[in-house]
Amino acid sequence: MVSEHYIRRAVFPGSFDPITLGHVDIINRALPLFDEIIIAIGVNAAKNYMWTLEERIAKIEAVFKGNLKVKVTSYKGLTAAFCKKENAQFILRGLRNTADFTYEQTIAQANEKVNGVDSVFLICSPEYSHISSSIVRDIARNDGDYSSLIP
């Protein structure tokens, strides 16, 4: 029996509006690194989402159904505070390009300095680097077919 102290737990935060093949790829490839991954939908009252929180949670749960290492939930406020509450030592993020890197760098540095939560980045698989939730939403808004971008 491994004690709670030794459970390597990561939070994968995001909007997941909606979850894409890019997200699924990052999570699947991160599974060997952690004992548990909490997919955490950040709720921001100022943001307009295309899918409701319940719909987004249901989609993610359907993808990882039966995988005991994956939990799905939502949170408000700072990601680092949520990590503390969940006893998660790591934040998992995916990087598609240098724009993602530039955006993530200062956030990751602040989270480590201020909260002691380290970020772990996986570089997106090349076949998914064009996929983003915002592209899916654009296609959906214009009645296009986005089925090849989502699980």
- 18 counts as binding ligand ADP under rule CB under 6 A: no
Nearest-CB residue for ligand ADP: 22
How many residues bind to ligand ADP according to rule CB under 6 A? 16
Residue closer to ligand ADP, measured from CB, 36 or 100: 100
Of these, 27, 40, 93, 136, which contacts ligand ADP (CB under 6 A)?
93
Burial 94-128 (b: 16+ CB within 10 A, else e): bbbeeebeeebeeebeebeeeeebebebeebeeeb
Write down the catalytic residue from 9, 56, 119, 133. Answer: 133
Active site residue 47: yes
Q: Residue 148, class by beta-carbon neighbours within 10 Å (0-12 exposed, 13-18 middle, 19+ buried)?
A: exposed
- 26 counts as binding ligand ADP under rule CB under 6 A: yes
